[in-house]
């Protein structure tokens, strides 16, 4: 369903779950890298003040003088805060230090829910896909992501209490799609840190499938140490250990997602490559 988008606007996908440690950032980094490797022009927006997506792509604290906060403060600055990553075809808006205060400051700001959407409208035409890595809360930053996006992708960790709190997230997505952003859809659930030796993983997967049906992506992301090692080296896992199970899984997930969402390289992306 890509009919409502104009040829030059990117597909904007928010990675959201108010729980921390479920694989939002890991999925954002690795899906972004795999989509970029397939020839798409990809932008990753680090919307979490923790800045793990920035670190995970090799952009350390020192290289984050301006980024997401600057862009939210003034959308006209968006083009100036995008940086190249070490992955060809993948650009990044890093989490700048001021982002930690944004949640509170935005409360007072005019058009506070639309800041990210407006900023991305300035630069979106340069990309086929924009991935937004959300913080672990349903506050104003995540709301900005849900207002800017057409798709929400929810990573679900295959652990105890995986589905706890999920109905609150679904309610939030529904209320945004009934109000601030009618284009928004919950387009996928990604099962992460799946361990096939552990019955619990299978139980969580079964529960998720009975609750969400075919919104659950077929690709399972296994628990794989190479995935977290790669992050500590500032690399997507496909660049760190291409043959690892984690790398293979994230490439399969990117392919599945591209198929489901009809992601394809636009003229602008090609022209600039
Ligand atoms: P979130 O962004 O939702 O808080 P992260 O993506 O940062 O979650 O993941 C939490 C931790 O789990 C990180 O240390 C990450 O490296 C690790 N991790 C994520 N996915 C996997 C996986 N499939 N296998 C092993 N470790 C993982
Ligand atoms: Mg994170």
pLDDT at 98 over 90: yes
Instruction: Return the higher-pLDDT residue of 174 and 272.
Output: 174
pLDDT in the model for residue 63: 87
pLDDT in the model for residue 162: 85
pLDDT in the model for residue 161: 85
Ligand nearest to the CA of 29: 1
Please report, for the chain, the start and end positions of each structural domain, with discontinuous segments joined by +.
11-260
pLDDT in the model for residue 65: 87
Residue 97 is given by DSSP the state T
Ligand nearest to the CA of 49: 2
User: How many angstroms does the Cα of residue 210 sit away from the middle of ligand 1?
Assistant: 25
Q: What number does CATH give the domain 11-260?
A: 3.40.50.300
pLDDT at 270 over 90: no
Mean pLDDT (whole number) for 180-202: 96
- Residue 35 in contact with residue 254, Cβ under 8 Å? yes
CA-CA distance, 173 to 80, in Å (whole number)? 30
User: How many angstroms does the Cα of residue 18 sit away from the middle of ligand 2?
Assistant: 10
| Rounded-to-10 torsion of CA 247, 131, 37, 75 | -150
Show the CA angle centred on residue 167, arms to residues 166 and 168, nearest 5°: 90
pLDDT in the model for residue 164: 86
pLDDT at 4 over 50: no
User: How many angstroms does the Cα of residue 15 sit away from the middle of ligand 2?
Assistant: 9
pLDDT at 172 over 70: yes
């Amino acid at each position: 369903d890509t009919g409502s988008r104009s040829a030059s606007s990117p597909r904007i996908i928010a990675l959201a779950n108010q729980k921390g440690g479920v694989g939002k950032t890991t999925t954002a980094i690795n899906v972004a890298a795999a989509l970029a490797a397939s020839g798409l022009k990809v932008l990753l927006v680090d919307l979490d003040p923790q800045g793990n997506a920035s670190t995970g792509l090799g952009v350390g604290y020192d290289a984050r003088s301006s980024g997401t906060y600057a862009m939210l403060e003034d959308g006209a600055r968006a083009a100036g805060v995008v940086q190249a990553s070490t992955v060809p075809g993948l650009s990044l808006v890093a989490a700048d230090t001021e982002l930690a205060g944004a949640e509170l400051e935005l409360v007072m700001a005019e058009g506070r829910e639309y800041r990210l959407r407006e900023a991305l409208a300035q630069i979106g035409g340069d990309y086929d896909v924009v991935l937004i890595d959300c913080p672990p809360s349903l506050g104003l930053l995540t709301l900005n992501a849900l207002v800017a996006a057409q798709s929400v992708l929810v990573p679900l960790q295959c652990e105890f209490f995986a589905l706890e709190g999920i109905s609150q997230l679904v309610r939030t997505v529904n209320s945004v799609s009934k109000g601030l952003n009618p284009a928004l859809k919950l387009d996928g659930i990604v099962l992460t840190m799946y361990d096939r030796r552990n019955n619990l993983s299978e139980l969580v997967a079964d529960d998720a499938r009975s609750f969400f049906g075919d919104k659950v992506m077929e690709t399972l992301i296994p628990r794989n140490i190479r995935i977290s090692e790669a992050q500590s080296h500032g690399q997507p896992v496909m660049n760190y250990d291409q043959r690892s199970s984690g790398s293979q899984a994230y490439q399969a997930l990117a392919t599945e997602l591209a198929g489901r969402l009809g992601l394809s390289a636009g003229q602008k992306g090609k022209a600039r490559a």
